[in-house]
């Protein structure tokens, strides 16, 4: 990768799903932060700095203790990604969900179905929509899917305003933490009272991931 990158100029930085796409004057880099990855401008190099890009006006570091993320040369198979959650219309979203029989949580996490949602946001969105994570996608009514779509837009918009959730690692390119974790209503709140009904937040395993929900407010 060093050969392709050397001497190139960064033209733009964009996002597609969970990928950060850095366009150069020739070719592009696709960065996926995985779970603990950080892309830092002028950060401090650590033993986990697996990518060090020296620029004319600073250093770009790719830091990833758990090594779940990656940097790839070229288009990170963007064609395999579904639509953006903030772009897809409610009609298309409804039609797509009704075609799938899988659990709604597994479907929302599927990047080929919808690009960009991770475990935290799916849990928060399903709570906001009052939908049980184990509900079958195809069995949800049009009204409930419309609520899910609205919850998705509202939750993501608010989370972006709060610059994301910093549970343990996440910081932006300037090293700043987000504070949306303060507004989580189910994620990481097992046993605590539901903001809506006061009942205890439950935690189960869905699609191999920790899944937090209110058994009273979220129906199948």
Partner DNA sequence: CAGATCACCTGCTTGC
Partner DNA sequence: TGCAAGCAGGTGATCT
Contact set with DNA (CB under 7 A): 17-18, 32, 34-36, 48, 65-68, 77, 100-103, 106, 109, 111, 118-120, 168, 187, 203, 207-210
Q: Which residue number, 9 or 15, has a Cβ lying nearer to DNA?
A: 15
Q: Which residue number, 36 or 150, has a Cβ lying nearer to DNA?
A: 36
Q: Are 95 and 149 within 8 A, CB to CB? A: no
Q: Which tokens is 16 given?
A: 């597609």
Q: Are 105 and 124 within 8 A, CB to CB? A: no
Q: Which residue number, 162 or 209, has a Cβ lying nearer to DNA?
A: 209
Residue 153: partners with Cβ closer than 8 Å, 6 or more residues away:
85, 86
Q: Which residue number, 100 or 163, has a Cβ lying nearer to DNA?
A: 100
Closest separation between CB of residue 155 and DNA, Å? Answer: 15
Q: Which tokens is 206 given?
A: 């869905």
Q: Which tokens is 46 given?
A: 């650590």
Closest separation between CB of residue 57 and DNA, Å? Answer: 30
Pairwise CA distance, residues 218 & 18, whole Å: 27
Query: Could you give the 3-state DSSP secondary structure of residue 12?
Result: strand
Closest separation between CB of residue 86 and DNA, Å? Answer: 17
Q: Which residue number, 69 or 128, has a Cβ lying nearer to DNA?
A: 69
Closest to 144 measured CA to CA, from 197, 218, 212:
218
Closest separation between CB of residue 112 and DNA, Å? Answer: 8
Closest separation between CB of residue 70 and DNA, Å? Answer: 8
């Amino acid at each position: 990768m060093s050969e392709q990158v050397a001497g190139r100029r960064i033209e733009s930085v964009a996002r597609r799903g969970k990928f950060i796409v850095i366009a150069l004057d020739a070719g592009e880099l696709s960065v996926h932060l995985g779970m603990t990855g950080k892309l830092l401008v002028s950060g401090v190099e650590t033993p986990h700095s697996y990518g060090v890009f020296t620029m004319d006006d600073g250093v770009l570091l790719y830091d990833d203790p758990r090594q779940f993320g990656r940097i790839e040369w070229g288009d990170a198979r963007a064609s395999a990604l579904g639509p953006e959650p903030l772009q897809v219309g409610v009609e298309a979203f409804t039609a797509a969900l009704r075609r799938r029989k899988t659990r709604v949580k597994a479907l929302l996490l599927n990047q080929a179905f919808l690009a960009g949602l991770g475990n935290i946001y799916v849990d928060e969105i399903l709570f906001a929509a009052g939908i049980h994570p184990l509900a079958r996608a195809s069995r949800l009514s049009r009204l409930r899917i419309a609520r899910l779509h609205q919850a998705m837009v509202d939750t993501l918009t608010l989370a972006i305003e709060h610059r994301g959730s910093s549970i343990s690692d996440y910081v932006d390119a300037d090293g700043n933490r987000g504070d949306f974790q303060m507004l989580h209503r189910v994620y990481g709140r097992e046993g605590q009272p539901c903001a809506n009904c006061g009942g205890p937040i439950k935690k189960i395993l869905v699609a191999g991931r920790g899944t937090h929900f209110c058994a009273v407010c979220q129906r199948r």
